[in-house]
Amino acid sequence: MLLYEKFQESKGVTTDTRKELKDTLFFCLQGENFDGNTFVPLALEKGAKWVVTSDPQWSSEPKAIVVKDTLWALQELATYHRQKLGTPIIALTGSNGKTTTKELIYSVLNQSFNALKTEGNLNNHLGVPLTLLRLTFETDIAIVEMGANHPGEIARLCQIADPDFGYITNFGRAHLEGFGSFEGVIRAKSELYQYLKKDNKCIFFSEDNSLQRELLEGYEPTYSFSLEGREGANLQLSLLKSIPTVTLEWAGQEFSSALIGNYNATNIAAAMCIGRYFKLSAEAIRRGVEGYIPTNNRSQFVEKTRGNRVLMDAYNANPSSMHAAIEAFQALPSAHKVLILGDMKELGAYSEREHQQLVTDIAAYPWTAVLLIGENFGRTQTDFLKFATPAEANAYLAAHPFSDTLFLVKGSRSMTLEKIEI
């Protein structure tokens, strides 16, 4: 495979001319608003060893490799590389908690293995192949996150990565616009199960999740965990506490974390289960769980001035994750609590109903204040404070400063709630 030879001669793959390109294999990708083929001269100028382009005008350029479709070529290269190395791969998907669970699994497995993980949330048709192309012969195992907002996308990512193991965090009301319904979410996420089942590959799951039990009924091999004492689970754990942070018990030992909420208990349990499957000791698993500190606006506590503290969970949001985060937040000890919530995107026809249901549900709690940001929340029937943008909310917060208050900031990524100033 000519392209693979060029890849081996290079210092990795790049797709962005703003990054370091010297001696790399540069792919000219196309999108709705850009054409990477226009960057061939710049990529060569910045030292790319080879450029992969779909523009035939570069066929006479010695350092250019002309293909019909650069994204397809990148994906095929990644699959070939993955098969060449044969590294065990754990595929991870789900509606909520994918990235946190991925980080936990990595933190645990990396105690005993040279593990590789998806960086950030590069979990789509581009991010998955880029992750696979970071595999080396020194990599013992890889955790590959897979995201989707339309049917068929998980199936395609499985074709690219060819995983040996899989875990679905949960099925939630996310990306309803693309999936059409909650049933559509289940079918789409279950594409991972279908891929693994055809070759009898091992699936990790929670015995406490009735939907997962139903979908995997009669299938082997599986490896499961339970926080509720369900018979049949390979790993029996108990939730000792979730406030202020989660602590689990296993075999008479405590495993403490820096994460809050019952929903994160399942994420931690999954990482412990997978660690146990790969025969890690209890001590190694504990180091992995305790060593993970949330960052990047994911369940991250941030200390502010005037005694204020913020639970920043603004990386993404959907109805399921919103309710889980608010439930955990309201249980935290504080005399003064403020919600700052941004719109939940990609809900399609369900958007109005879901936003209205959320404001109705949170009205049952005695908040110090509730600030709603975005046009979807703006259309709800409520007496809570409403703002069109984070900038408008900041103006209110500057004019009405809080002290000794605990804040939850949560919304979809596009709402840019990290701009909130407290």
Annotated binding residues for ATP, as ranges?
94-100
Residue ranges of the binding site: 94-100
Length of the chain: 422
- In sequence order, the β-bridge partners of residue 10 are none
Decide: 249 and 296 in contact? Cβ < 8 Å: no
Amino acid at 141: I
